[in-house]
Structure 1
Amino acid sequence: MQNETKTTDDLSNKVKICVKKNNGIMERFSYEKLLKSLVMVEAPYFESDRILSNVASSVYDGISTKEIKKIVYELLSDIDEESANKYLAATTLKVRTSRDKIESFDLAKIANTLVEETGASQETAFEIASQVWKELKKLNVEYLTAPMIREIVNTKLVEHGLEDLRSRYTRLGIPVFNITSLIENGSRDNANMIHNPESVHKYVADEALKQYALLQMLPSDLADAHMSGDIHIHDLEFFAGRPLNCMQHDIRTFIKYGLKVDGTGDHTSVAGAPNHIETLMNHTGEIMLAAQQNMSGGQGMSLWNVFVAPFASGLPYGKVKQAVEMLIYNLNMAYAARGSQVPFTSMGLEFSVPKFLQDEVAYGPKGKIVGTYGDFEEETRMLQRAFTEILLEGDADGKPHLFPNTIYTLRKESLKDEYAEDLLKVHELSAKYGSAYFANMLPDYRGNMANYMGCRTCLQDNWTGDWNTDCLRTGNLAYITLNLPRIAYQSRDESEVFEYIDSYMDLGIRALNIRREQGLNCLNNYNLLPFLNQDVEDDVYYRIENATMSFGFVGLNEMLMSLFGSGIDNPNSNKFGVEILEYMNKRAQELKKETGLRWTILQTPAESTAYRFATLDKEKFSDNVITQGESGANYYTNSSHVPVNSNVSLVDKIKIEEKYHPLTGGGHIFHAFMGESYSDPESLMSLTNKIAKKSDIGFWAYSSALSFCIKCKTLMKGLNDQCPTCGERDDVEWYDRITGYVQQVGRAKSSSGGWNAGKKQELVDRNRFENS
Structure 2
Amino acid sequence: MNVEDICIIKRDGKRENFSAHKISNAIGKAFTATGLNDQEALIDEITRRVINHFQEPTIGVEAIQDLVETELMKVQPEVAKKYIIYRQWRNTERDRKTQIKHIMDGIVAIDKNDVNLSNANMSSHTPAGQMMTFASEVTKDYTYKYLLPKPYAEAHQLGDIHIHDLDYYPTKTTTCIQYDLDDLFERGFHTKNGSIRTPQSIQSYATLATIIFQTNQNEQHGGQAIPAFDFFMAKGVLKTYQKAVASTLSFYLEMKGCALNEKEALELVRQQLHTILPDAQVIAALQEALQSRHCDISETELTHILDKAYQQTRKDTHQAMEGFIHNLNTMHSRGGNQVVFSSINYGTDTSAEGRMVIEELLNATIEGLGTRGEVPVFPIQIFKIKDGVSYSEADYRRAMEDFEAAMDGKVAFEAPNFDLFLKACRTTAKALFPNFMFLDTPFNKHEAWRADDPKRYRYELATMGCRTRVFENLNGEKTSLGRGNLSFTTMNLPRLAIEARRKAEQLLNEGQTTDVESTARSLFLESVHRMASFIAEQLYARYQYQRTALARQFPFMMGNDVWKGGGKLNPNDEVGDVLNQGTLGIGFIGGHNAMVALYGQGHGHNQKAWQTLYDAVLEMNKVADEYKAKYHLNYSILATPAEGLSGRFTKIDQKKYGIIPGVNDRDYYVNSFHVDVKEPITIVEKTKCEAPFHALTRGGHITYVELDGEAKKNIKAIAKIVKVMHDEGIGYGSINHPVDTCHNCGYKGVIYDKCPICRSENILRMRRITGYLTGDLSSWNSAKRAEEHDRVKHG
Same fold (TM over 0.5): yes
* Residue of structure 2 in register with 1:558 after alignment: 593
Deviation sequence 1:570-590 (CA, Å, 0-9, x none): 112111111111111121112
Partner residue of 1:517 out of 537, 541, 544: 544
Instruction: Please name the residue that 2:301 is paired with.
Output: none
How far apart, in 2, do the equivalents of 1:276 and 1:562 lie? 58
Query: In the alignment, is residue 188 of structure 1 matched against residue 117 of structure 2?
Result: yes
Q: Could you tell me which of 326, 329, 332 is aligned with 1:332? A: 329
Aligned equivalent of 2:318: 321
SS in 1 for 2:787: helix
Residue identity opposite 1:352 in structure 2: D
TM-score normalized by structure 2?
0.71
**Paired residue type of 1:385:** E
Q: Secondary structure at the match of 1:733?
A: strand
Q: Could you tell me whether the CA contact under 8 Å between 2:475 and 2:633 is conserved in 1?
A: no
Name the counterpart of 2:658: 622
SS at match of 1:438: strand
Q: Partner of 1:534 in structure 2? A: 559
Alignment partner of 1:685 is 2:719: yes
Offset of 1:148 from its aligned partner? 9.9
Larger Rg: 2
Question: Which of these residues, 634, 638, 662, is aligned with residue 695 of structure 2?
Answer: 662
Q: For residue 45 of structure 1, what is the aligned residue in structure 2?
A: none
Q: Residues of 2 paired with 1:704 and 1:149: CA distance?
A: 40
Q: Give the corresponding residue for 1:610.
A: 646
Distance in 1 between residues matched to 2:476 and 2:62, nearest whole Å: 61
- Does residue 710 in structure 1 map to residue 743 in structure 2? yes
SS state at 1:401 partner:
coil
User: How far does residue 421 in structure 1 lie from its aligned partner after superposition?
Assistant: 2.7
Residue 272 of structure 1, CA deviation: 1.4
- 1:177 corresponds to which residue? 105
Secondary structure, aligned partner of 1:521: coil
Is 1:405 paired with 2:380? Answer: yes
CA distance in 1: counterparts of 2:687 and 2:673, whole angstroms? 12
Structure 1 letter corresponding to 2:782:
A
CA contact (8 A) 2:680 2:794 kept: no
Change (3 A) 1:76 1:605: same
Q: Is the 8 A contact 1:487 1:497 kept in 2?
A: yes
Measure, in 2, the Cα distance between the counterparts of 1:412 and 1:211.
50
Alpha carbons 1:435, 1:703 under 8 Å: kept: no
What is the deviation of 1:599?
0.3
Bigger CA drift: 667-676 or 324-333? 324-333
Q: 5 Å matches for 1:586-601?
A: 586-601=622-637
Once the two structures are superposed, what CA deviation does each residue of 1:267-303 show, in whole Å capped at 9, x if it has no partner? x122112222222211100101111100010000011
| Deviation (angstroms), 1:604 | 0.1
Aligned mates of 2:533, 2:608 — CA distance in 1: 28
2:585 aligned with 1:638: no
Deviations 1:76-129 (A, max 9, x none): 543235676443477989xxxxxxxxxxxxxxxxxxxxxxxxxxxxxxxxxxxx
- Residue 722 in structure 1 maps to residue 651 in structure 2: no
Q: Which amino acid aligns with 1:488?
A: A
Q: Does 1:739 align with 2:770?
A: yes
SS at 2:585's partner residue? strand
Q: Percent identity?
A: 26
Residue 482 (structure 1) aligned with residue 491 (structure 2) = yes
Write the distance in 1 (CA, Å) between the matches of 2:719 and 2:155. Answer: 45
Residue 576 (1) aligns with residue 612 (2): yes
Matched ranges for 1:321-470 at <5 A? 321-353=318-350, 377-396=351-370, 397-413=372-388, 414-416=390-392, 417=395, 418=413, 419-448=417-446, 449-461=460-472, 463=474, 466-467=477-478, 470=479
Asked if 1:295 is matched to 2:220, the reply is: yes
Q: In the superposition, relative to structure 1, how do residues 475 and 499 fare at CA in structure 2: closer, same or farther (>3 Å)?
A: same
Q: Check 1:621–1:340 CA distance in 2 against 1; reply closer, same or farther (3 A cut).
A: same
TM-score normalised by L of structure 1: 0.73
Query: Do the aligned partners of residues 606 and 184 (structure 1) sit closer, same or farther apart at CA in structure 2, a change above 3 Å counting?
Result: closer
Distance verdict in 2 for CA 1:598–1:70, change over 3 Å: farther
Residue 433 of structure 1 contacts residue 704 of structure 1 at CA under 8 Å; is this kept in 2?
Answer: no
Q: Per-residue displacement from partner, 1:369-402 (whole Å, max 9, x unpaired)?
A: xxxxxxxx11111101111110011112221011
Checking the alignment, whether the CA contact within 8 Å between 1:259 and 1:283 is kept in structure 2 is: no
- Provide the rounded CA distance (Å) in 1 between the counterparts of 2:119 and 2:786: 16
Q: Secondary structure in 2 aligned to 1:602? A: strand
RMSD over aligned CA atoms reads: 3.2
User: Which of residues 258, 261, 265 is equivalent to 2:188?
Assistant: 258
Provide the C-alpha distance between the structure 2 equivalents of 1:238 and 1:61, rounded to a whole number of angstroms. Answer: 30
Aligned residues: 606
SS of the residue 2:171 aligns to: coil
2:307 equivalent to 1:307:
no
Report the equivalent of 2:202: 277
**Shift in Å, 1:450:** 1.8
Q: Name 2:304's counterpart in structure 1.
A: none
In structure 2, how many angstroms separate the alpha carbons of the residues matched to 1:586 and 1:511?
A: 17
Query: Contact 2:121–2:338 (CA<8 Å) still a contact in 1?
Result: yes
- Cα distance in 2 for residues equivalent to 1:573 and 1:141: 32
Kept after mapping to 2: 8 A contact 1:614/1:627: no
Aligned equivalents of 2:89 and 2:745: distance in 1? Answer: 59
Separation (CA, whole Å) in 2 of partners of 1:72 and 1:192: 54
Q: Is the 8 A contact 1:399 1:715 kept in 2?
A: no
Contact 1:351 1:384 in 2 (8 A): no
> Would you say the 8 A contact 2:203–2:316 is kept in 1?
no
CA contact (8 A) 1:409 1:438 kept: yes
The amino acid across from 1:236 in the alignment is: L
Residues 176 and 226 of structure 1: is their aligned pair in 2 closer, same or farther, counting only changes over 3 Å? Answer: closer
1:540-591 per-position Cα deviation (integer Å, ceiling 9, x unaligned): 1595221000101011111112112221111121111111111111211121
> CA–CA distance in 1 between the matches of 2:718 and 2:68?
58
Unaligned stretches of 5+ in structure 1? 1-54, 94-139, 152-168, 263-267, 354-376, 747-752
Partner of 2:786: 761
Q: Would you say the 8 A contact 2:647–2:783 is kept in 1?
A: yes
SS of equivalent to 2:419: helix
Query: CA offsets per residue over residues 474-519 of structure 1, 9 Å max, x none?
Result: 1111100011111111123333223322332233123212321232
2:230–2:347 contact (8 Å) kept in structure 1? yes
Distance in structure 1 (CA, Å) of the matches to 2:541 and 2:425:
43
Give me the whole-angstrom Cα distance separating, in 2, the residues matched to 1:445 and 1:710.
44
How far apart are the structure 2 equivalents of 1:544 and 1:184?
A: 38
Contact 1:554/1:637 (<8 A) preserved:
yes
The 3-state SS of whatever aligns with 1:471 is: coil
CA distance in 1, matches of 2:362, 2:66: 59
Checking the alignment, whether the CA contact within 8 Å between 1:557 and 1:642 is kept in structure 2 is: yes
1:143 alignment counterpart: 90
Shift of 1:252: 1.4
Write the mapping of 1:89-104 to structure 2, written as runs, cut at 5 A: none
Matches within 5 A, 1:2-41: none
Structure 2 contact 223–342 (Cα < 8 Å) conserved = yes
State how far apart, in whole Å, the 2-side matches of 1:674 and 1:329 are. 27
